[in-house]
Every structure is written in structure tokens, then in C-alpha cells.
Amino acid sequence: SKNDALAEGVFFSRDLVNLPANVLNTEKFGNELKKFRKIGVKVRVLNEKDIKAIGMNLLFSVGKGSKNPSKVLVLEWKGGNRNTKPTALVGKGVVFDSGGLSLKSSSGMIDMAMDMAGAAVVAGVIKSVALSNLKVNLVGLIGLVENMPGPDSMRPGDVIKSLKGDLVQVNNTDAEGRLLLGDLLWYAQQKF
């Protein structure tokens, strides 16, 4: 039933949000979303090579301080008219947000395994829509990154060229969400 499909999506989102960052890394999150192929969702995984080749430098910069590779997942549900453009849902999937080199305080960091809740919601919506077989076209764009203070981290003051072509100066590396969402929003518009 529609209610069961809705519940499945809600529980899926909630379960992802509640997993700790040592369990739900970018790889595992990506693998969970690949399972959507079984319910009729087209799933494309863009790896770091793809992300760089496309020019999503803002998104790439957020994750480069982590040993967990960044990924972009493109989930397409084509239930509607072939000529109708899809509605795009864009999700922030920061599996852990330390703040990067602009390090958060310990108390500010404790819940930061939940910084992927936006991505989990997008995934849950698409799961519910697919299970309900809704007559709509949806595309979910999910950026999976971990914002860590590693040796290759972006630094405050770095200037990065976005997918759109704008130059962005990062004054605080804890502004990671708007960086990755900026590239994803532009990609959604370019592609879909």
C-alpha cells in the first residue's frame, strides 16, 4: 500500500541518519543507494575521477581531507511522461563534519554523523516514490563527502572554481554544505 511505501522510506532515512560515521562512510552509503536498482530506480555513481572531470571542484574540495572517497549519486525515477522534466531533489550527504581545518568544538561535533540527513531524506523520498510506483519523474542528486582536517584539506582562504565557473573563496571550511550543494544544484540544472 501507499502507507507501507511511505513508512519504508521514512524508516530508511531514519536508519541512515542514526548510523555512526564509522559504520556509514561514503562507500557504505553509496552501496545502500545502489540497492534501489532492484525497485526500478536508475542509479549512477560518480567517483572522484568523474567528479573532477565534470568540474565539481567545490564538492571535491570538501572531501579531500578525508581518506573516505567523495561520491555523487544520481538517482532517477521515471514514472511520469517521457517529455516531462524531472523534479530535482538535492541532498547534502556529509557523513561526518568535523568542520575541516576550521574545526568545530567537541560539543559542536558530537552529532555531526547526522550531517547527511538531507541526503537520507532525498533517498527516503525516492524509495517511497518507487515503491508507490508514482507517475512522476524525479531525480535525486546526493553528494557524499566527509569533511575532515587531513593533510590534503582545503584551507581557509583557498580559492576554488565552481562547476558554474565562479571563483569561490573559502573563508571557513565549516561552510562545506553550501559548497557541495552549489555544485550539485548547478549540475542538476545543466543535466536535467
**Positions marked active-site:** 104, 178
CB 55 within 8 A of CB 20: no
Tell me the sheet residues that pair with 140: 75, 89
> For the chain, where are the alpha helices, taking DSSP H only?
2-18, 26-34, 48-54, 57-63, 106-109, 117-132, 176-191
Q: Which residue has the cell 502507507?
A: 3
3-state secondary structure (DSSP) of residue 178: helix
CA distance 52 to 151: 19
Of 65, 43, 42, 45, the residue nearest 54 (C-alpha): 45
Cα–Cα distance for residue pair 52/71, rounded to 1 Å: 11
Closest to 144 in 3D by CA, of 183, 174, 110: 183
Phi, psi dihedrals of residue 42, rounded to the nearest 5°: -80, 125
